[in-house]
Structure 1
């Protein structure tokens, strides 16, 4: 028997034009755990810690994390507000379609493709970082000397494992993501406690908070500090996973947006503790920067707790990164499933199919893994490919994150229909700040990180990202503008009318601050039947205001 929340979720989904096809089994906590696992502070902060040390040093690592987390929370607030109104697995591109009026199809197209590029790149960045760390740990324990192609083979094997889990063990995903939360939080506590107890010669607080390091070749400390923010900003990606899991989450209009915000907030606190633990454990900076292990984190652990202790601590990172990669494949596949459901991808009729027994978009899962696997070839060609992949993931994802917000504050400023979670009178200000920040980092992370710039060390992000943007725009101009109309309903009119009139939507409202009067949708945002359904369940003054 369905609960009230499940009945309301199904009706709201039908009002938005979709049938309930995926199993709605995730709770609020498991929804949060997916985004928290994809953010994975033990993945992003560990993978790029050495890059951060060379590009700004301890001061930029610590204060950069604080600044980036604050600005990220503004982006997350704007996303959460929209997610509460439109809790669908299509997520970002569905939001853009609804909020951009007559230009909805175009903005939905750009948003969807940028999100897809970002999701693929972030999956690649996560599993590639895991592959490099795994090779480093094996080398530390056995003396094995690995080469770049070895890392790529391990990377491909990890993608196959994660795709297999998402295909044949989907019932375990919620459990794995719950375990992941405790591995991340518990792992940070264990690492902090062990390093605090065992590190013999800790640096002073003054050294940790004021030391600036510039090994980039650039003269400007401001420029170096800014490009050093990549470590933090790459880590703070992937929290849109909560939106992509909306159609599998109970009470999704509340649980999904709260999952987004909790993922960012908890990641900030745990991440700050982790960075402080690492940086206060640096004993020989030159040794860490030029470690024979090829990994700054590994060297810090070795200097603090010896080889055996280092391997044990690194196993915590390996476990956290494994969960992170698995959650990323989950979110990526759901995005592909939703985008292909609206015929936006080549081969859409195959990609949005749900396996009749497994109840999983199997083709979407394996496409996500395959596309991420292709990026591994770049590492064989160029050893500087990994930072470029992380930059692509960061920029593409954040562009897709703020396009819906941009549409809301420009095209739908006075017509946006609020959900149970909203920002009240601060909505436009926070949304504008989020858009400005993303525009800033988009320019920042395509700039070269080293000087003098050569074909080997140049930032290839601009080339790869430009190629992706040109392809997406050309595809739209040549063909897609003729047939892509944005998200397409898979519920027939009669069925929608029946459910909209027969079901009683029950909302759970929590009063924090009285909300201002809510405007109704303007022309072009919904069909008559949707307007009727919304009028019946119109938001009142007692909504949860952030």
Structure 2
């Protein structure tokens, strides 16, 4: 294999990216083809739509929103944050069209930086990695929690415990690892199923909430405001409620990470990002309105251990509530599977450029399944490591996975910021924003900065060890380790994305 060399610049590629087929585009960026392209446009959209997963996100965060702003923030905050996330997604999609690789965010950061390419790429990659691992762990933990809620409804003598939650979470993540190990075709099929599961499940839940209850809240109830956070500032309490929507809208970089397995990736990957955000915004608003207007006793629901489940029980009865809860659990399981798939591709690409310990292991591809099997199990192992503290302390687990959203959105913002700094030197792909590129990018970076700060502020008062927001500490630990590692060894061996040769050379290395 020829030694890695400086990758051809964007301006050195074929002038019209539309004339490049998928393999030629990948070869122009210095990589041989090692993964199977089985993801069509719908499959690419499905991965991000499934990771965003409005059913999982809304049911997980609805209770927090009831106490941090109430219906006014849950509904109007959803609309406002969805628009902001669409700005972030559009700016990311433009970058994805120009650099359709599994490396996605970290790769584009290294290519868009004018100086210190290795450092920009390094920090973006590790923020993305930690955020995705935290997302896989958090989604599995949420699914385990709702599974236990279902069991408790079915068998009232069952008493959920932290140990049981951890064990169920471990089983879920291991099964998702096996699904990702078997074949990328299976994952694509499951992602297609997940889209219809979400859409049909949404229709069933919303229809049940609209038709079955004998009473609903008045139209003006959507303006009801509640601040039970413990903070005296209503503005601050309401701003905290925006986190419900922000928490839901994570993981749409999955379409970017699946670029090397997507046909016509320069167009289908960015479209997948935009469509996933847009569809999630609309369907999520419908679900949010259905839940809000089905609330009967606000205080009773707001103090319940699982407020959305309480709404279902109050309005639909125990039997129907249990059936709908199965839909919710299924959505969470699909979400975790898609999240793990995206996480695996990021590990594969990051290690391909030598940025992880044991890189030669993690970027290898199974000759039988054409999937990065070892990267799958590294992602599983890291997610399980985050789960284990939950055996002793729920607060410890929450502290670790809270970096999920902050890590991901900071990783989203870096290549967008660097693209803005590059100005007219940026060579867009076939999907681009044209003259709107700069204003969209500015809004995206500004919103990401503000929302990241919001995620690191205290979220409940009085501040105790149980209510303290450990996200800043978790993020500081990640950045400290990454910085120490960078200055001790990494900066001497990692220069950012590498090239395995000129296009004709890497074409000869294709393994498929």
Same fold (TM over 0.5): yes
Of 438, 443, 464, the residue aligned with 1:433 is 443
Return the alpha-carbon distance in structure 1 between the equivalents of residues 134 and 507 of structure 2. Answer: 41
Change (3 A) 1:287 1:474: same
CA separation of 1:489 and 1:160: change in aligned 2, threshold 3 A = same
Contact preservation (8 Å) 1:19, 1:491: no
Among 112, 128, 131, the residue aligned to 2:141: 128
In structure 1, the partner of 2:21 is 8
Q: Deviations over 1:247-285 (max 9, x none)?
A: 000000000000000000000000000101111111112
> Is 1:355 matched with 2:366?
yes
1:138 aligns with 2:151: yes
Correspondence for 2:12: none
Unaligned runs of 5+ in 1: 500-546
1:414 matches 2:428: no
Alignment correspondent of 2:165: 151
In 2, Cα distance between the equivalents of 1:386 and 1:48?
A: 16
Contact 1:234–1:391 (Cα < 8 Å) also in 2: no
SS at match of 1:126: helix
Q: What TM-score do you get using the length of structure 2 for normalisation?
A: 0.93
Superposed, 1:487-506 pairs within 5 Å as 487-491=497-501, 495=505
| Contact in 1 for aligned 2:402/2:470 (Cα 8 Å) | no
2:205 aligned to which of 191, 195, 212: 191
Cα distance between partner residues in 2 of 1:232 and 1:386: 21
Contact 1:187 1:316 in 2 (8 A): yes
In the alignment, structure 1 residue 166 sits paired with structure 2 residue 180: yes
Question: In structure 2, which of residues 228, 234, 252 is the aligned counterpart of residue 239 of structure 1?
Answer: 252
> Matches of 2:282 and 2:400 in 1, distance apart?
26
Residue of structure 2 in register with 1:338 after alignment: 349
State the match for 1:521 in structure 2: none
TM-score by length of 1: 0.87
- Closer, same or farther in 2 for the Cα pair 1:274/1:386, shift >3 Å? farther
Residues 439-491 of structure 1 show CA distances to partners (whole Å, capped at 9, x for unaligned) of 11111111111111112210011111110011111111111111101111234
What residue is the counterpart of 1:486 in the other structure?
A: 496
For the aligned residues, what is the CA RMSD? 1.8
Q: Structure 1 388/131 Cα, relative in aligned 2: closer, same or farther at 3 Å?
A: same
1:494 deviation in Å? 5.1
**Cross-structure match for 1:399:** 410
- Partner residue in 2 for 1:256: 269
Q: Is the 8 A contact 1:5 1:251 kept in 2?
A: no
* 1:395-429 per-position Cα deviation (integer Å, ceiling 9, x unaligned): 1000000100111111x112111111111111111
State the match for 1:66 in structure 2. Answer: 79
Structure 2 CA distance for aligned equivalents of residues 377 and 124 of structure 1: 10
Alpha-carbon contact 2:24-2:503 (below 8 Å) kept: no
Range 80-89 or range 370-379, more displaced: 370-379
The offset of 1:45, in angstroms, is 1.0
Aligned equivalents of 1:104 and 1:463: distance in 2? Answer: 27
Residues 31 and 506 of structure 2 are in contact (CA less than 8 Å); yes or no, is this contact kept in structure 1?
Answer: no
In structure 2, relative to structure 1, the CA distance for the partners of 1:13 and 1:217 (3 Å cut) is: same
Tell whether the 8 Å contact from 2:49 to 2:276 is kept in structure 1 after alignment.
Answer: yes
Aligned pair partner of 2:89 in 60, 76, 82: 76
| Equivalent in 284, 295, 301 of residue 312 of structure 2 | 301
1:101 deviates by 2.1
In structure 1, distance between residues paired with 2:131 and 2:309: 28
Q: Secondary structure at the match of 2:472?
A: helix
CA distance 1:187–1:390, change in 2 (3 Å): farther
**Residue 384 of structure 1: CA displacement?**
3.8
Contact 2:205-2:324 at 8 Å conserved across structures: yes
Q: Distance in 1 between matches of 2:301 and 2:466?
A: 23
Q: CA deviation at 1:287?
A: 2.0
The structure whose RCO (Cα within 8 Å, separation 6+) is larger is 2
Q: Does 1:179 align with 2:190?
A: no
- Structure 1 residue 216: deviation in Å? 1.3
* Counterpart Cα distance in 2 of 1:188 and 1:321: 13
Structure 2: runs of 5 or more not aligned: 1-16
1:216 aligns with 2:226: no
| Alignment pair present for 1:447 and 2:457 | yes
Q: Which of 385, 395, 414 in structure 2 is aligned with 1:374?
A: 385
Instruction: Sort the Cα spacing of 1:439 and 1:33 in 2 relative to 1 into closer, same or farther, 3 A.
Output: same
Separation in 2 of the partners of 1:216 and 1:487? 45
Aligned to 1:490, what secondary structure does the other structure show? coil
Partner of 2:11: none
2:38–2:185: 8 Å Cα contact kept in structure 1? no
Q: Which residue of 1 aligns with 2:5?
A: none
Report the counterpart of residue 7 of structure 2 in structure 1.
none
- SS at 1:195 equivalent: helix
Q: 1:104 aligns with which of 117, 123, 131?
A: 117
Aligned pair in 2 of structure 1 residues 220, 488: CA closer, same or farther (>3 Å)?
A: same
> Within 1, Cα distance between the matches of 2:105 and 2:247?
19
Render the CA deviation track for 1:149-184: whole Å, top value 9, x for unaligned. Answer: 111110010000000000024321111111111111
Deviation at 1:381, TM superposition (A): 3.5
